Structure 1
Amino acid sequence: MAKIIPFKAVRPTQDKVGLVTCRNYEDYSAAELAAWLNFNPYSFLHIINPAYANVQSISWDKRFKGVALKYKDFKNENIFIQEEEAVFYLYEIQTKTQSFTGIIAGTSVEDYQANRIKKHEDTLQYRVEMFKDYLHQTRFNTEPVLITYPDSNELNTWIQIKKKNRPLNQFSTTNKEKHTLWRIDTQNDIDWLEDHFETIPNLYIADGHHRSASAELLFEQDKDLNNPNLNYFMSFLIPESNVKIYEFNRIIRDLNGFSKEDFLEKIAENFEIISKEQELWKPQNKGEFGMYLDGIFYTLKYKKEIDNTSIKQQLDAQILYDTVLQPILEIGDLRNDERIAYISGKQSIISIKEKVDEGEFAVGFMLFPSNIEEIKAFADNDLIMPPKSTYIEPKFRSGLVVYEL
């Protein structure tokens, strides 16, 4: 059974919410970051980058303490307010092409430990430790874990009814997204939602494996403080059918000493190679790959029979690794090898062409995106997908809802 709880969230005042919230700070270029910090005094970027001018010259400990102090300043200036009672939220994100609606709630560390909240990605211990230290110092989190639940007609109907109510917040952003937030605060609704999720045996992490692992680590470290908020971490729960899964395409800096002709000959051992000339071609099915090499796009069709008895061997990212990246290009560590980089499938493949044409990279590979069933199969069998197998939306706005620890 999945346990979710309402919580006393901290959030921007209604008149400032559109000014406060921001994308993940890593999404901003240096120029964008400077512009937002210089011209928008309400941006949450001021909290997560409290010393942006010299951020590289201060220790993580000092930076985390600066984040905590700046957050207190925002609260003291009444830019943020706290709910008087524990509530749930409905949150809708409308992009140019898609709409996402989910529930903001606290999810259980105990469920995570018991594998009722299932994982499909590995984590880097140093990142888990760092974010745990961040949470310990700042005592708040505004980046929920994206979690999927099985589609439910009953829950979908309930959500559609609640969305007819007057929203708590509604605002648009400069990237032309529309954001709407509803408060779920009546006891009947809270009880109904909690009871409904207790009928769900398992939830699945779509995005945020490091955040959930850090929450568990913080719970183990600070559980003697008897702080009930540590027993949960903030999540954005969304139906399986409503997530958007993109691939991560691969670009490689060199051909590992092979000439173009020899490289194509090695590729041909496992793939049928079809030249697409200048056509911006992307894979249309599983088992197909795109390749851009020396000004030409290619279709690569896997010639061998896929091992349907192995969940891992059916994954396109694994096939590419086993047939090209590791044996031919000798790239073993997909996380740390500096010869490989990744571009999400959300970006145009023109970006791959440009990087190869500029000479920084020698070849690019385009993959067909995974689906939610593949992700669940890995999670259900306690398997780990290769690094950078998926890029998943929606992405949550930092500073919209804050979970205090």
Structure 2
Amino acid sequence: MPLIKPFAGLRPAPGRAAEVAAPPYDVVTADEARRLVAGRPWSFLHVSRPEVDLPPQTAPYDHSVYARARDNLRHMLAQGVLLRDPAPAYYVYRLSMGAHRQTGLVAAASVAAYDDGRIRRHELTRPAKEDDRVRQIDALQAQTGPVLLVYRARAEVDALLAQQSQGPAEVDITAADGVRHELWVIDAADKIARIGAWFDAMEALYIADGHHRSAAASRVAAAGRAADPDPDPNQADARQFFLSVLFPHDQMQILPYNRVVRDLNGLEPQDFLRRVAERFQVAPEACPVQPAHPAEFGLYLDHCWYRLRLDAAHIPRHDPVRRLDVSLLQEHLIEPILGIADPRRDERIDFVGGIRGLAGLVDRVDNGDMRLALSLHPTSMDDLMTVADAGACMPPKSTWFEPKLADGLVSHPFDAAADTGG
């Protein structure tokens, strides 16, 4: 089975992409989604966050949520807002945010490769979120939220994608957040074959974002195999692949994933700082601290910033997980001093994506919502791939990727127009 394959995508009709494109379902709250769909009847949030069309008190996993998603998708199809491409294709997808630009490939990735560990993960998943994505896929009979994958950059792949994206894009829109989204179609048989061969030769792909979506795709595929244990080998089953966008590792941009904590674990500020100083060098700073190096952190407390540097003797260089900044901060400050042993479940801690900047940390503390904030140096792509290659898992909220993919530009349907390319 190929590592990736082309597919006949479900896309906005010509000229409709700006009406359809929406932020990923999991980066907006239900209230934010309701505000974003105001005056936008064709926003893909009506599919990815269908609770926007239901009473506010509706439980997020109620059966009516998935039924509404199905009905909304069918309505967009019936009205010609979304159209199915006539033949399998790959799609070049470019994201531009300020001076940053990354160019990747939209493809269907192999569930078998995911199950076998060739598509490598670095995070644990939560059953409730997996269940949610399984029910969404089953209701839609399509995958609409792409998994963000990374491959170790190969010059020939990058050169072909650059060449294919030289002409006018089929989609060229700028979202409300200023991110530009461009899309080109690759449907020439020779180029499809060349791309497939290049990726088949790769040792591994890496999940950057979308662990719950890929885990859900695996479960949907397993259910399909159980229902039809002897499928026709000449008919590709779309359920055995999942929607993905693949970027070279050297074009990815990881921002820090910062922390805010609700209290000082019963300590007075001076006692807290004294205990921090037992493990870190602590230096007051006049300006907000964005760490410039690994093992360096910013601390915001009582309207003051401090720069924290962990002594090198505390860094286990040969352990790919424990040497991460998120691990060092957890092991030397958050757990022993603030008493938070399980940041996945402890409600005293929250996480702030780096796109919100240091001002987002200051706001959370100064408005009384949180007591202190901690800024981090971003995790590197090399660290992410090293952890995944080791079959290990990162701590929660280790990476924040920007810019974000848009939902709705390309979806992967399971209908009778079976994908036969690849």
TM range (shorter): over 0.9
Normalised TM-score (structure 1): 0.95
Normalised TM-score (structure 2): 0.92
Deviates more, 1:391-400 or 1:11-20: 391-400
Amino acid at match of 1:39: G
Structure 1 CA distance, aligned partners of 2:377 and 2:36? 36
Structure 2 CA distance, aligned partners of 1:336 and 1:388? 12
Matched, 1:287 2:289: no
| Matching residue of 2:243 | 234
| Matching residue of 2:381 | 372
Q: Of 119, 122, 125, which aligns to 2:121?
A: 119
Residue 312 of structure 1: CA displacement?
A: 2.0
The equivalences for 1:36-55 within 5 A come to: 36-52=36-52, 53-55=54-56
Q: Flag structure 1 segments of 5+ consecutive residues without an equivalent.
A: none
Secondary structure, in 3 states, of the residue corresponding to 1:236?
strand
Count of matched residue pairs: 404
Change (3 A) 1:33 1:132: closer
Residue 84 of structure 1: CA displacement?
A: 1.0
Change (3 A) 1:312 1:32: closer
Residue-by-residue CA offset, 1:217-261 (whole Å, 9 max, x unaligned): 111122224570011001100000111111111110000000111
The equivalences for 1:2-401 within 5 A come to: 3-28=3-28, 33-52=33-52, 53-57=54-58, 60-223=62-225, 224-225=227-228, 226=231, 228-276=237-285, 278-305=286-313, 306-401=315-410
| Matching residue of 2:413 | 404
Structure 2 CA distance, aligned partners of 1:36 and 1:314? 40
Contact 2:355–2:402, Cα closer than 8 Å, also in 1: no
Residue 199 of structure 1: CA displacement?
A: 1.1
Amino acid at match of 2:183: L
Amino acid at match of 2:293: N
Structure 2 CA distance, aligned partners of 1:161 and 1:255? 55
Runs of 4+ in 1 over 6 A off after TM superposition: none
Q: Flag structure 2 segments of 5+ consecutive residues without an equivalent.
A: 415-422
Structure 2 CA distance, aligned partners of 1:379 and 1:141? 24
Amino acid at match of 2:298: G
Give the percent of matched residue pairs that are identical in Structure 1 and Structure 2: 29
Amino acid at match of 1:152: R
Amino acid at match of 1:295: H
Secondary structure, in 3 states, of the residue corresponding to 2:298?
strand
Secondary structure, in 3 states, of the residue corresponding to 2:409?
coil
Structure 2 CA distance, aligned partners of 1:103 and 1:202? 16
Amino acid at match of 1:4: I
Change (3 A) 1:40 1:289: same
Structure 1 CA distance, aligned partners of 2:312 and 2:48? 49
Contact 2:173–2:180, Cα closer than 8 Å, also in 1: yes
Secondary structure, in 3 states, of the residue corresponding to 2:289?
coil
Secondary structure, in 3 states, of the residue corresponding to 2:38?
helix
Residue-by-residue CA offset, 1:283-317 (whole Å, 9 max, x unaligned): 11111111011111001111241222222221111
Residue-by-residue CA offset, 1:27-67 (whole Å, 9 max, x unaligned): 44666534443312221122334452415325521210111
Q: CA RMSD in A?
A: 1.7
Amino acid at match of 2:275: K
Secondary structure, in 3 states, of the residue corresponding to 1:347?
helix
Amino acid at match of 1:122: L
Structure 2 CA distance, aligned partners of 1:65 and 1:343? 32
Contact 1:129–1:214, Cα closer than 8 Å, also in 2: yes
Structure 1 CA distance, aligned partners of 2:331 and 2:28? 34
Change (3 A) 1:322 1:50: closer
| Matching residue of 2:420 | none
Structure 2 CA distance, aligned partners of 1:370 and 1:292? 21
Contact 2:103–2:162, Cα closer than 8 Å, also in 1: no
Contact 1:143–1:396, Cα closer than 8 Å, also in 2: no
Structure 1 CA distance, aligned partners of 2:247 and 2:201? 16
Structure 2 CA distance, aligned partners of 1:205 and 1:187? 27
Deviates more, 1:247-256 or 1:129-138: 129-138
Residue 359 of structure 1: CA displacement?
A: 2.0
Change (3 A) 1:222 1:76: same
Contact 2:30–2:51, Cα closer than 8 Å, also in 1: no
| Matching residue of 2:417 | none
Structure 2 CA distance, aligned partners of 1:26 and 1:321? 25
Deviates more, 1:249-258 or 1:96-105: 96-105
Change (3 A) 1:32 1:321: closer
Structure 2 CA distance, aligned partners of 1:29 and 1:105? 28
Structure 2 CA distance, aligned partners of 1:30 and 1:142? 18
Structure 2 CA distance, aligned partners of 1:331 and 1:36? 35
Deviates more, 1:333-342 or 1:93-102: 93-102
Contact 1:100–1:243, Cα closer than 8 Å, also in 2: yes
Secondary structure, in 3 states, of the residue corresponding to 1:74?
helix
Secondary structure, in 3 states, of the residue corresponding to 2:102?
strand
